[in-house]
Every structure is written in C-alpha cells, then in structure tokens.
C-alpha cells in the first residue's frame, strides 16, 4: 500500500496536483452556493422591506 502512495517516487508531484484539483472543485461549489444564498436573502429582505413600507 505504501508502495502505491509513493507513486513510483513521484508522490511529491502527483498528490499535490490531485489535492489542488479537489480544492478547486470544492471551492467552486461552495462559492457558487454562497453567492446564490446571499442573493436570495437580499431579494427576500427587499421584498419584506417593500411590504413593510406599503
């Protein structure tokens, strides 16, 4: 098993690439969802503010 993780001596290059990819894939999902939630909350606030003033 440790032989597998050593990647034939290239572990220091192979694993960081896959780790960076995982970070970018996860970041994109989190960032997109956060933006959507924030925009949704803004719309709801404006809607309730508009209701209150009318």
User: Does position 49 bind other proteins by CB under 8 A?
Assistant: no
7 and 14 Cβ atoms separated by less than 8 Å: yes
**CA 9: distance to chain centroid?**
31
**10: DSSP letter:** T
- Please give the size of the binding site for other proteins, defined by CB under 8 A: 29
Q: Where are the alpha helices (DSSP H) in 1-54?
A: 2-5, 11-53
Member of 1, 2, 42, 53 binding other proteins (CB under 8 A): 42
Contact residues: other proteins, CB under 8 A: 7-10, 13-14, 16-18, 20-21, 24-25, 27-29, 31-33, 35-36, 38-40, 42-44, 46-47
């Amino acid at each position: 098993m440790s032989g597998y993780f050593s990647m034939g001596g290239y572990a220091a290059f192979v694993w960081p690439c896959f780790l960076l990819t995982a970070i970018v894939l996860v970041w994109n999902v989190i960032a997109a969802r956060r933006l959507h939630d924030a925009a949704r909350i803004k719309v709801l606030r404006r809607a309730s503010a508009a209701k209150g003033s009318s």
